[in-house]
Amino acid sequence: MPLVQNINELMSSWTKQMGYPVVDADIEVRDGQCWLKLRQSRFISDGGADEAKSIWQVPIGILTNSSATEPRAKILLTKAEEEFQLNDVNPNEWIKVGS
């Protein structure tokens, strides 16, 4: 399933600001459905705070044990923190979050 996105906006978030994001992921099962919570923050080698509060557009692919070679879902992280429902993902499957 292809992502529909504005490539200029996506690339500008990577080329017009310094650094790159670290994305943290948490999985939660609610009412038999898997929810993915993603948070991004700017990587700073000395551990300091990001005063600019940088945000990137980060394409994310979701793999599961029943779909280990083709992403089960593709999402675009565009905020500091977002939550996504993973439709058709069995809560008993392993989930790999990548780009």
On the question of pLDDT at 73 being above 80, the answer is yes
Strand ranges across the sheet with 58-64: 73-77, 58-64, 95-98
Question: What mean pLDDT value characterizes the chain?
Answer: 89
What does 21-36 look like in DSSP terms, one character per residue? EEEEEEEEEETTEEEE
The predicted pLDDT at position 5 comes to 67
What structural domains does the chain harbor?
A: 7-45+52-98 (2.60.40.1910)
Query: b/e string for 28-55 if b means 16 or more Cβ within 10 A?
Result: eeeeeebebebbbbbeeeeeeeeeeebb
The predicted pLDDT at position 4 comes to 57
Mean pLDDT to the nearest integer, 34-38: 95
Structure tokens at 38: 């993603």
The predicted pLDDT at position 32 comes to 87
What is the model's pTM? 0.84
On the question of pLDDT at 19 being above 90, the answer is no
Q: Do residues 42 and 54 touch, judged by C-beta distance below 8 A?
A: yes
User: How many other C-beta atoms are found inside a 10 Å radius of the C-beta of residue 69?
Assistant: 5
Backbone angles phi, psi at 97, to 5 degrees: -105, 125
